[in-house]
């Protein structure tokens, strides 16, 4: 990347433009991470929650950086010996996105980009879209909570939506690996922080909207405003070669609000008769779900192994998105019967005990309510629910989660999730202080809680272990240790079978 390209795309002062014109270096690396600085790096200083990149300017130059982009509002004293190689911008988050787009040659423009936002369902919807599109000879990568996926390769991630530089780097790799598209989870925090600036989305999908992330957003309106950015940022122009489509769940009242916030084409989905993509005559069992799918009034019989009403909505969202990407209804419907579930999303744990054990990521009141409602539709006997709440997260959500479990499960068992730096018992107090003692069981240790539920369950009962889903860790204090709900359940069943044999 040339200095002139930087001068052309960033909004900087005439003095900083002169600085760039005097530099002859080429940029060979772009990063906001001090640990990734090498010779020829352009370093973008970002003030994060735990570290301020502005405090490391001298260090990055000593390690080979040739240019630093800083925030004009930063109060950190910068080293004077590098003044001729430091330029200031109004927003370094946006500048990182702008520079990454140039550095990686605008990869999103060469991919069919499908962004999925909403409180619940993002992971399942992106996986379903990828599976349907890939099965129709349009290999589609995934960026999301569980991992980034390029072809058959899964790459571990830290955030649901990565920073702008990592995002463009990943999209560039997808392009290099001959992916034709990307199904991407887009979080509200990422939208608020501008991590997706510059990504040329073709389709934006809205799943639903319920309470979450209020520790960050403070209010529901702020939270919704962040979600809405995905749709307002689809653009205002109309290019026949780059049609934009918003796919919106209009059974959700917030979805109806989104319709007026985008100039893009709109495909609605839901159960209401007015939806363009609609499900009716729904039948849910412990083996799967069947329904009649209507697309613009044309009807198709659907049988899917995915279980639950929430998965009907997830399927409709994926169908509408793939339809927006110009797949024929028949191409989409033919794949629905062989869709695979997502790890940690209503995942059944195989066993011969007669107990139905399920691991699910439900970590919001609405998500837990949907999962338990689905279980109650087919449960023969009792329903055990093991659930906790995370530390350093929305405190007001804790009693709401407990209420859902106590109301919809016959046996509610409250335990630890990822307490982080908070006292696990204080979190459990927040969850249970308002509940009658006889309405729940409280076991702080998560392994003990899971084993308690399984030891008390009998054939015909259902045991739901909720909150962590696919996660392979538990964070207690600052220690992150291996932990898997699935493995704990599996080990319990293995011990039982060993004793019986």
Q: What pLDDT digit, counting tens, does each position of 455-481 carry?
A: 999 999 999 999 999 999 999 999 999
Query: What are the residue ranges of CATH 3.40.1190.10 in the chain?
Result: 107-336
Tell me the C-alpha distance between 385 and 460, whole Å.
Answer: 15
Query: Which two three-digit tokens encode residue 11?
Result: 């909004």
Tell me the C-alpha distance between 437 and 283, whole Å.
Answer: 37
94 closest CA partner among 178, 195, 18, 231: 195
What is the tens place of the pLDDT at every residue in 197-242?
A: 999 999 999 999 986 777 778 898 999 999 999 999 998 889 998 9
Tell me the C-alpha distance between 148 and 205, whole Å.
Answer: 19
What is the tens place of the pLDDT at every residue in 347-394?
A: 999 998 999 999 999 999 989 999 999 999 889 899 999 999 999 888
What is the tens place of the pLDDT at every residue in 250-269?
A: 999 999 999 999 999 999 99
Q: How many CB atoms lie within 10 A of CB 8?
A: 11
What are the binding residues for ATP? Answer: 118-124
Write phi, then psi, for 388 (nearest 5 degrees). Answer: -135, -175
Query: What are the residue ranges of CATH 3.40.1390.10 in the chain?
Result: 3-103
Q: What is the mean pLDDT of residues 70-81?
A: 96
Q: What is the mean pLDDT of residues 12-31?
A: 96
Q: Looking at the domain that runs over 347-500, which CATH code has it been given?
A: 3.90.190.20
Task: Tell me the torsion sign for CA atoms 269, 271, 275, 276.
Answer: positive
Query: Residue 1 pLDDT > 80, yes or no?
Result: yes
Tell me the C-alpha distance between 306 and 302, whole Å.
Answer: 11
Three-state SS at 108: helix
Q: What does the DSSP 8-state code read for residue 10?
A: S
Query: What are the residue ranges of CATH 3.90.190.20 in the chain?
Result: 347-500
Does the pTM exceed 0.85? yes
Q: Can you give the pLDDT at residue 186?
A: 96
Q: Can you give the pLDDT at residue 157?
A: 87
Q: What is the mean pLDDT of residues 129-146?
A: 96
Q: Looking at the domain that runs over 3-103, which CATH code has it been given?
A: 3.40.1390.10
Comparing 298 with 285, the larger pLDDT belongs to 298
CATH class of 107-336: alpha beta
Under 8 Å between Cβ of 230 and 186? yes
Q: Over the Cα atoms of the chain, what is R_g?
A: 25
Q: Mean pLDDT of all residues in the chain?
A: 94
What is the tens place of the pLDDT at every residue in 169-204?
A: 999 999 999 999 999 999 999 999 999 999 999 999
Q: What is the mean pLDDT of residues 109-129?
A: 96
What is the tens place of the pLDDT at every residue in 398-449?
A: 999 999 999 999 999 999 999 999 999 999 999 999 999 999 999 999 999 9
Q: Can you give the pLDDT at residue 442?
A: 97
Tell me the C-alpha distance between 213 and 224, whole Å.
Answer: 11
Query: Residue 298 pLDDT > 90, yes or no?
Result: yes
Q: Can you give the pLDDT at residue 501?
A: 63
What are the binding residues for meso-2,6-diaminopimelate? Answer: 393, 417-420, 467, 471
Tell me the C-alpha distance between 235 and 125, whole Å.
Answer: 23
> CA dist 47 to 44, 71, 193, 196, Å?
10, 9, 11, 18
- Alpha-carbon dihedral of residues 152, 155, 157, 163, nearest 10 degrees? -100
What are the binding residues? Answer: 34, 118-124, 159-161, 187, 193, 195, 393, 417-420, 467, 471
Tell me the C-alpha distance between 215 and 204, whole Å.
Answer: 25
Comparing 56 with 499, the larger pLDDT belongs to 56
Q: What is the mean pLDDT of residues 86-101?
A: 97
Owner of token pair 């369950």: 457
């Amino acid at each position: 990347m040339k200095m002139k390209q930087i001068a052309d795309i960033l909004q900087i002062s005439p003095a900083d433009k002169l600085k760039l014109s005097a530099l002859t270096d080429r940029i060979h690396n772009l990063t906001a991470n001090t640990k990734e600085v090498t010779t020829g790096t352009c370093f973008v200083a970002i003030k994060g929650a735990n570290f301020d990149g502005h405090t490391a300017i001298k260090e990055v130059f000593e390690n080979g950086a040739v240019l630093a982009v800083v925030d004009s509002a930063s109060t950190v004293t910068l080293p004077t010996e590098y003044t001729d190689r430091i330029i200031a911008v109004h927003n370094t988050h946006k500048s990182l996105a702008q520079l990454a787009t140039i550095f990686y040659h605008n990869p999103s423009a060469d991919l069919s980009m499908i962004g999925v936002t909403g409180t619940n369902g993002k992971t399942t919807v992106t996986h379903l879209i990828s599976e349907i599109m890939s099965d129709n000879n349009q290999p589609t990568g995934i960026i999301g909570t569980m991992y980034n996926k390029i072809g058959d390769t899964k790459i571990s991630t830290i955030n649901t939506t990565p920073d702008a530089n990592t995002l463009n780097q990943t999209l560039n790799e997808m392009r290099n690996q001959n992916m034709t598209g990307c199904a991407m989870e887009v979080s509200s925090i990422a939208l608020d922080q501008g991590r997706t600036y510059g990504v040329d989305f073709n389709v934006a999908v809205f799943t639903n909207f319920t309470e979450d992330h209020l520790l960050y957003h403070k209010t529901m309106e702020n939270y919704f405003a962040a979600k809405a950015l995905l749709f307002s940022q689809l653009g205002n122009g109309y290019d026949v070669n780059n049609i934009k489509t918003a796919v919106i769940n209009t059974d959700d009242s917030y979805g109806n609000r989104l319709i007026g916030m985008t100039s893009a084409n709109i495909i609605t989905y839901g159960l209401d008769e007015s939806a363009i993509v609609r499900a009716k005559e729904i039948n849910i069992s412990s083996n799967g779900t069947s329904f009649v799918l209507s697309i613009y009034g044309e009807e198709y019989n659907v049988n899917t192994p995915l279980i639950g009403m929430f998965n009907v909505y997830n399927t409709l969202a994926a169908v509408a998105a793939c339809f927006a990407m110009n797949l024929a209804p028949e191409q989409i419907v033919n794949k629905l019967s062989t869709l695979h579930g997502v790890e940690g999303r209503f995942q059944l744990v195989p066993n011969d005990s007669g107990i139905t054990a399920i691991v699910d990521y439900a970590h919001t009141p609405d998500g837990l309510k949907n999962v338990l409602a689905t279980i109650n539709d087919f449960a023969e006997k009792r329903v055990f629910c093991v659930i906790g709440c995370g530390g350093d997260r929305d405190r007001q959500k804790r009693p709401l989660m407990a209420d859902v479990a106590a109301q919809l499960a016959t046996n509610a068992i409250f335990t630890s999730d990822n307490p982080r730096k908070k006292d696990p018992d204080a979190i459990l107090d927040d969850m249970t202080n308002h509940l009658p003692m006889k309405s729940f069981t409280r076991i702080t240790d998560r392994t003990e809680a899971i084993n308690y539920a399984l030891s008390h369950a009998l054939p015909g009962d259902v045991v739901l272990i909720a909150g962590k889903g696919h996660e392979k860790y538990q964070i207690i204090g600052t220690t992150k240790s291996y932990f898997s709900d699935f493995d704990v359940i599996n080990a319990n069943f293995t011990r039982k079978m060993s004793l019986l044999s």
